Amino acid sequence: MRKDSYVLGVDYGTDSVRTVVVNTNNGDTVASAVFYYPRWKQGLYCNDEENRFRQHPLDYVEGLEQTITACVKQAGPDIAAKICAIGVDTTGSSPVAVNEAGTPLALLSEFSENPNAMFVLWKDHTSLPEAAQINEHAKKFDVNYLQYVGGIYSSEWFWAKLLHVLREDEAVRKACYSWVEHCDWIPFLLTGGTHISQLKRSVCAAGHKGLWAEAFNGYPPDPFFSSLDPLLKGYVDTLGKDTYTSDQPAGTLSKEWAAKLGLPETVVVAVGAFDAHMGAVGGQIEPYYLSRVMGTSTCDILVAPTEELGGTLVKGICGQVNGSVIPGMIGLEAGQSAFGDTYAWFKNMLLQPVKELIGASSLIDEETKTKLADELSEKLLPQLSAKAALLYPDEKDEIAIDWLNGRRTPDANQFLKSSINGLSLSTDAVKIFRSLVEATCFGARMIIDRFEQEGVPVKGVIGLGGVAKRAPYVMQVLSNVLNRPIRIHKSEQTCALGAAMFAATAAGVYKKTEDAMLHMGQGFDTIYEADAAKAAIYDLRYAQYKKQGAFIEQNSNKL
């Protein structure tokens, strides 16, 4: 038995950052803390109507310090003294404009309230025109620079967002030296980086969102970008050619951050990566098993041995990158732009007028109004789920399309909109909710179908994340729609646990990521089995979903 050592896993989600302290021997979580971004919670710097979603770097920095110090205190001095490494995952693509020192511009006084100087969150779709232009521009070159990102570039990704910000904001354009992903900036911050050249860019972010590929010996050359728009000239040169897997150290804690966190400067900081990729590791992914991280959106991860995948390229996904999940294997990524967000949208739509009426009521006091509104918000989706579970599916039921935030995969198209068909006077909130749940599950089936159509088998499905752990109705419908069993991982925090596994590997506790997964993995506690009779009905409804989706896509410019 090796000596006890501990690592920190830091997981930056859409709404909050969570940090855990994990025992490297057995994966036990001995401390945890969460920090909800205060500026984001207030809705600052965002505009739903424009699909603009920005996050201030101070939310990230404050959350980093507060969650780690809380964990260190909670763990106690004996355990804190044995913390040897930190791993970090973030949402993505969530990049930011930085100066030559690697400082996000929003941390400078002159840009502190400028949304264009902040992190452009993954779900920000303001760069739709730029993504469309990149896709057209790529057709002009003999080399297909989009071949490793499914052949279609998305508005959710690195270069489209950079070009949009440069075009929109002259002041940011003049001050911006380089463009950096959130998952790369946090390790740079912790290790005390003072120049952008010191920043270690992850192969995960660079490959899946930034067009970096081994076949190109790095990123596409500068002429590819500068001929798209001269504003991009020189940016690729600030990125460097090298990328790193997350089992590698980015460095050790700087003196400043060691003092802030109450940790020694010897603590190793691992190279960062995206949350779903580390979540797949925390959820003990296996070759050809689709790991579905289900939260506000989904990110679907599959790994395959390099020699087995060969030259297979899967069209319409979010990329395939060597080492982006497990070093030595190809990581393939897909996903849905709205999953939990779909249910949250419906809940908020129902509650909006109710909350307004409660707020205007003269029958109850202010404290009761607040408690009542909170209670309704907490109980609405569980109530709808319980009622929907009693309904037996029928081919004639209402049917919805899950593109409320556009379509991520297969075949990214963020211009697409959602729909609900088959409404009648007998349609109620429960039936609409059921149709939305089914739609998100049909969207998941489209992803699996695409993998298999392109020659990549899907041997099983692993469910991770908040929806997988807390929405049994959704998971049962998903199993029925896919007509496959779904294993649910025990861990409530697979992304943070995956970050901890990479930290342990980067610190040398384990020689390879698979060893960390074996010793620190927590296993599975639930399996959803498909109902064969309902699966047969869902086959018919899935055909309707595809037909309705095709109609919307063909007529989207005419609607």
φ, ψ dihedrals at 164, nearest 5°: -60, -45
| Both structure tokens of 74 | 């909670």
For range 283-306, the mean pLDDT: 96
pTM, entire model: 0.93
Please give the Cα distance from 23 to 228 (Å, whole number).
Answer: 49
| Both structure tokens of 133 | 């232009």
| Both structure tokens of 96 | 């930011």
What's the pLDDT at 4?
Answer: 86
Find out whether 293 and 299 touch, Cβ atoms under 8 Å: yes
Percent of the chain with pLDDT strictly greater than 70: 99
Percent of the chain with pLDDT strictly greater than 90: 97
**Mean pLDDT of the residues in the chain:** 96
Residue 2's pLDDT band (boundaries 50, 70, 90)?
A: low
373: burial class by Cβ within 10 Å (0-12, 13-18, 19+)?
middle
What's the pLDDT at 556?
Answer: 78
Per-residue pLDDT reduced to its tens digit, 18-62: 999 999 999 999 999 999 999 999 999 999 999 999 999 999 999
For residue 116, which amino acid is it? Answer: N
What's the pLDDT at 3?
Answer: 78
136: burial class by Cβ within 10 Å (0-12, 13-18, 19+)?
exposed
For residue 44, which amino acid is it? Answer: L
Per-residue pLDDT reduced to its tens digit, 53-110: 999 999 999 999 999 999 999 999 999 999 999 999 999 999 999 999 999 999 999 9
Q: Where are the domains of the chain?
A: 6-283+492-524
Please give the Cα distance from 433 to 341 (Å, whole number).
Answer: 13
Per-residue pLDDT reduced to its tens digit, 505-526: 999 999 999 999 999 999 999 9
Q: Is the peptide bond before 32 cis (omega within 30 degrees of 0)?
A: no
Mention every residue, 6+ apart, whose C-beta is less than 8 A from residue 352.
Answer: none
- pLDDT at position 124 over 60: yes
What's the pLDDT at 559?
Answer: 45
- pLDDT at position 134 over 80: yes
Please give the Cα distance from 54 to 44 (Å, whole number).
Answer: 8
> Is the model more confident about 1 or about 70?
70
- For domain 6-283+492-524, give the fold: Nucleotidyltransferase; domain 5 (3.30.420)
- pLDDT at position 180 over 50: yes
Mention every residue, 6+ apart, whose C-beta is less than 8 A from residue 393.
Answer: 438, 480, 534, 537, 538, 541
Nearest CA to 436 out of 473, 486, 465 is that of 473
Nearest CA to 270 out of 241, 242, 238, 244 is that of 244
Per-residue pLDDT reduced to its tens digit, 189-220: 999 999 999 999 999 999 999 999 999 999 99
For residue 362, which amino acid is it? Answer: S
